[in-house]
Amino acid sequence: MSALVQDSFDLEKQLISSPSPEQADQLTEPGVLAAPGSGHAAKGYSGIADHSTPAHAFLEHTTSIMFPILFVPNVYFSFDRLYELELLWLGALAIPLALVLGDFVGGLVHWAADTYFSEDTPVVGPALIKPFREHHLYPRDITTHTFVSIVGNVCILAIPILSLCLYLLWITQHGLLAFAILWTSLMTAATVATNVFHKWAHQEKPSALVRWLQRMRLVLEPRHHQVHHTEPFKMHYCITNGWLNPLLNKIGFFRKLEAGLRSLGIETTNTRNSCDTVRT
CB 238 → Zn ion: shortest distance, Å? Answer: 11
d(CA 133, CA 153): 15
- Minimal distance, residue 191 CB to Zn ion, in Å: 16
Phi, psi of 33 (to 5 degrees): -115, 150
Residues 6+ apart with CB under 8 A from 24: none
3-state secondary structure string, 106-145? HHHHHHHHHHCCCCCCCCHHHHHHHHHHHHHHCHHHHHHC
From first CA to last CA, the distance across the chain in angstroms is 36
Strands (DSSP E) contained in 12-139 are 27-29, 32-33
Q: Which of residues 11-40 bind Zn ion (CB under 5 A)?
A: none
Q: Which amino acid is at 201?
A: A
Under rule CB under 5 A, which residues in 211-270 are in contact with Zn ion? none
> 33 - beta bridge partners?
27
User: Measured from the CB atom, is 91 or 139 closer to Zn ion?
Assistant: 139
Instruction: Tell me, by CB under 5 A, how many residues bind Zn ion.
Output: 1
- Kindly state the smallest distance separating residue 270's Cβ from Zn ion, in Å: 10
Nearer to Zn ion, 103 or 114 (CB): 114
Residue nearest to Zn ion (CB): 114
For residue 247, give the 3-state DSSP assignment. helix
Q: How far is the CB of 17 from Zn ion (least distance, A)?
A: 21
Does 141 bind Zn ion (CB under 5 A)? Our answer is: no
Cβ nearer to Zn ion, comparing 81 with 202: 202
By C-beta, is 60 or 114 nearer to Zn ion? 114
The Cα-based distances of 102 to 98, 117, 154 in angstroms read 6, 23, 12
Q: 94 or 129: whose CB is closer to Zn ion?
A: 129
Question: Footprint of Zn ion on residues 57-116 (CB under 5 A)?
Answer: 114
- Minimum distance between the CB of residue 142 and Zn ion, rounded to whole angstroms? 7
Of 70 and 127, nearer to Zn ion (C-beta) is 127
- Minimum separation from the CB atom of position 42 to Zn ion (A): 14
Binding site for Zn ion (CB under 5 A): 114
